[in-house]
Amino acid sequence: MNYKILIILFLLIFGCETNNINKKVENDIITGEVFSNKGFTLVFKESLKKQKIVTKKIDSRSLIVFQKNLKKNTKVKITNLINNKSILVKVGAKSNYPEFYNSVISKRIYKKLEIDKNEPYIEILEISKNSTFLAKKAKTFDEEKKVADKAPVDDISINNLSKDSAKIDSIEKSNFNYIIKIADFYYEDTANLLVKRINTESKIDDINIIKLSETNYRVYLGPFKDLNSLKKAFNDIKIINFENIEIIKTWKNL
């Protein structure tokens, strides 16, 4: 009987400690006023829907993006972070797609931004009603939509998309260098708490903390030099259930 009481007390104490850690971690995360995410996008093609990799269709001529964190009709700015080209588009209906990708885009957006199929690295930025960017680009958006509805789109070949993960086998670029940003925190102690939580809840042990400023500490994985290792680490860390994990290109070795 005494052993049972001890076990119950241990579980209660451990559970309270875990909840306190989770609350402290969540409260200390540095967040912006609007949603943004950097990562790899997936270009829609019919075979993705047939294979149920993407559950809904995007018309090739549309200026529509699928993004799981944002509501339908939310206006967003998509930037190709390799060449800095950007465009204003709208979020479409909710759709399932591989967790590794931060969005699914139409072929029109793909061509407009001149996205590299081997390194489709973009930023999704929510545009608020009071945004200066929105005021300047609203007219452009309407004009481009009219053109998109009429203009033909050449077929885009995207090789090596597998059924379960739309996997690109290899990337030949010498500057492929990415980290997985898990979260930014005001305090180093909280960043250390998150590392402790990840070690407890997963098999990941190569977790890093970098001091960006006196009040900004980043918890991250990497760097990664190839797509396959980046995907594996991303899928491993998703079990922690952080809502806005980002993939960030680094232009120098950490």
Q: Do 224 and 140 reside in the same domain of the chain?
A: no
Least confident of 81-90, 91-100, 150-159: 150-159
Least confident of 20-29, 71-80, 101-110, 215-224: 20-29
Number of domains in the chain: 2
Q: Do 47 and 145 reside in the same domain of the chain?
A: yes
Q: Do 71 and 142 reside in the same domain of the chain?
A: yes
Last residue of one domain, picked from the residues 109, 134, 150: 150
CATH number at residue 129: 2.40.40.10
CA contacts within 13 A on the Cβ side of 22: 11
Tens of pLDDT, residues 74-85:
999 999 999 999
3-state secondary structure the chain: CHHHHHHHHHHHHHHHHHHHHHHHHHHHECCCCCCEEEEEEEECCHHHHHCCCCCCCCCCCCCEEECCCCCCCCEEEEEECCCCCEEEEEECCCCCCCCCCCEEECHHHHHHCCCCCCCCEEEEEECCCCCHHHHHHHHHHHHHHHHHHHCCCCCCCCCCCCCCCCCCCCCCCCCCCEEEEEEEECCHHHHHHHHHHHHHHCCCCCEEEEEEECCEEEEEEEEECCHHHHHHHHHHHHHHCCCCCEEEECCCCC
pLDDT of 114 higher than 70: yes
Q: Do 104 and 198 reside in the same domain of the chain?
A: no
Least confident of 38-47, 90-99, 121-130: 121-130
Q: For residue 238, what are the CA distances in angstroms to 62, 140, 175?
A: 30, 37, 25
Q: Do 58 and 143 reside in the same domain of the chain?
A: yes
**Contact indicator for 49, 36 with CB cutoff of 8 Å:** no
Q: Is 2 a member of any domain?
A: no
Question: What's the N-to-C CA distance of the chain in angstroms?
Answer: 54
Task: Report the share of the chain in percent with pLDDT over 90.
Answer: 56
Q: Do 145 and 94 reside in the same domain of the chain?
A: yes
User: What is the pLDDT confidence band of residue 204, given thresholds at 50, 70 and 90?
Assistant: confident
Task: Report the share of the chain in percent with pLDDT over 70.
Answer: 68
User: What is the pLDDT confidence band of residue 220, given thresholds at 50, 70 and 90?
Assistant: very high
pLDDT score at 239: 77
Give the domain range for residue 130: 36-150
User: Cβ–Cβ contacts within 10 Å for residue 163, how many?
Assistant: 12
Return the amino acid letter for 32.
G
Q: Do 50 and 117 reside in the same domain of the chain?
A: yes
Q: Do 195 and 109 reside in the same domain of the chain?
A: no
Q: Is 55 a member of any domain?
A: yes
Q: What is the mean pLDDT of residues 223-250?
A: 88
pLDDT of 5 higher than 80: no
Sign, CA dihedral 88-91-96-100, equals positive
pLDDT of 181 higher than 80: yes
